[in-house]
Structure 1
């Protein structure tokens, strides 16, 4: 009989390429992962890994084992979740949730208090991860539920073992000092309105910077970017000085000071937010409870 923990270790090594990285992901030492792999080789009777430079690669036999692993994990998880769902159905235990930072701020954090009241025996363990890493964690079994968003309008590719549900549409607004002349327009702002005004923006490589570049695509001249700041609270501090304006997603926006105002754009930048989990965990009362709470929070206009 193949040991499930050893099978999980092999799959992690196959994905990450080294025993050390697999150990970090699984929470073991590299020596412990090595021992698990050796135990697996004794159980199947053939080598499953071969050295390759500073890393390792799968042997043909190892690849065959890894290719079959998803069916094993899905069957085991489906069995466990079916048992939980036909008991009293009460969500309990710890649910490992991974999410991008503004998803934590805008969706998970507001849901935690109500969830604790409705499901007192359920505990969330939340870790911050970008969408690609979050999906890997769910697929690998090191997380149970992920919040992800599309990348500049392009959906994240889902592994076959993972399903998703749309839970929120996040949009960006322009934040200005209340004394700024654009506030007097009292209507959604156009690119022409924004031309010539100095900005603080998120750094290149972020979704908000992509929004910003797309906003000015085709406009005459480059926008006047004075500062590149990743933290939205810091951006708002600079906006409060009256010297710059900012484009900030609603999920990532802290409560505005009295001297700041958020104005909508005529060409609204947006991203779609999804919850993702393994198909084999579809019957999980814990996942269903969190999805229901996220739906309520998103519907409240966060």
Structure 2
């Protein structure tokens, strides 16, 4: 009979293209993954991998097995979750959650600290949305928090994953209480922001994209003094009174007495969703964490 571990190794190799990367994802050595693949080939009697440059590809037989393996994993997971759901009902065990950094700070940290489910251990790993969805699909994580990057197309979601909205994150401008912008009592527009110096996240980040959109139609380039990825460090520079920052609310630590957040007339936004395998729909742990995270569908 084909071993479940060998099926999982084959699907990981198919997704990542090398034994080494599959081993890293699965938490094994490359040698152990290679042995699993060899056992699978002995069990089915045909090769399932073929060399391709520095990596490997699935043979037609290997692809057929990998395609069918998803149904096997889903059936096994449904069996396990059904057993859990008809037990005492209290979430227990370990739930592996992957999420982007600001969702960890603003959404997951209170859940991890919640005393509501004392037998549930929540393990959190920081991953970007595309990687997080792949981890859940591959079975190396149970639940993901992802975002749509302010209207940009979200990472493709496999049909095997379910998804639910949990939060809308909004960006505000944070300034020192002595800064001229702190005295304005209306939402800030492009004219109000012109001429001020900034600290912002580096290019390539979602928050830098937010920042660039603020000045998309401005006649002059904004005065960017500092590029800093850490928001707490950004706020320490803002406290000097010489620069201002665009900070997502999820990423914002308590501002204290020296700083104030000013809303924007057209604030950048991103929708945050939770994603999980449909085969784990009955999981008491997933249901418990989703309940802690916030609104159900129909928000």
> TM-score category by the smaller chain?
over 0.9
Distance in 2, matches of 1:157 and 1:68, equals 21
In structure 1, the residue corresponding to 2:182 is in which secondary structure? helix
Q: Displacement of 1:53 after TM fit?
A: 2.1
Which range moved further: 277-286 or 77-86?
77-86
Q: 1:138 corresponds to which residue?
A: 136
Query: 1:74 maps to what in 2?
Result: 74
Corresponding residue SS for 2:204: coil
**Residues 71-220 of structure 1: matches in 2 within 5 Å?**
71-114=71-114, 117-153=115-151, 154-220=153-219
* Alpha-carbon shift at residue 57 of structure 1 (Å): 1.0
Measured in 1, the distance between the counterparts of 2:53 and 2:155 equals: 32
**After TM superposition, which residue ranges in structure 1, 4 or more long, deviate above 3 angstroms?**
none
User: Residues 150 and 268 of structure 2 are in contact (CA less than 8 Å); yes or no, is this contact kept in structure 1?
Assistant: no
Aligned to 1:299: none
- Structure 2: which 5+ residue stretches go unaligned? none
Alignment: residue pair count: 294
1:181, distance to aligned residue in structure 2 (A)? 1.0
Name the CA distance, whole Å, in 1 between partners of 2:104 and 2:259: 24
Aligned counterparts of 2:25 and 2:94: Cα–Cα separation in 1: 18
TM-score normalised over the length of structure 1? 0.96
Q: Which residue of 1 aligns with 2:30?
A: 30
Match of 1:40 in 2: 40
Mapped to 2, the partners of 1:257 and 1:295 lie a distance apart of 26
TM-score by length of 2: 0.97
**What is the correspondence of 1:253-292 to structure 2 with a 5 Å cutoff?**
253-292=252-291
| Cα distance in 2 between the residues matched to 1:172 and 1:83 | 43
Distance in 2 separating the partners of 1:34 and 1:22: 10
CA distance in 2: counterparts of 1:155 and 1:18, whole angstroms: 26
Q: Distance in 2 between matches of 1:7 and 1:112?
A: 32
CA–CA distance in 2 between the matches of 1:55 and 1:139?
22
1:249 Cα deviation after fit = 0.2
Any idea what the Cα deviations from partners look like across 1:169-191, whole Å, max 9, x if unmatched?
A: 00000000101111111111111
Question: 2 CA distance for matches of 1:108 and 1:247?
Answer: 22
Q: Distance in 2 between matches of 1:105 and 1:182?
A: 27
- TM-superposed deviation, 1:52: 1.7
Residue 85 of structure 1: how far off its partner (Å): 0.7
In structure 2, distance between residues paired with 1:42 and 1:225? 61
Match of 2:11 in 1: 11
Q: CA deviation at 1:156?
A: 2.5
1:251 aligns to what? Answer: 250
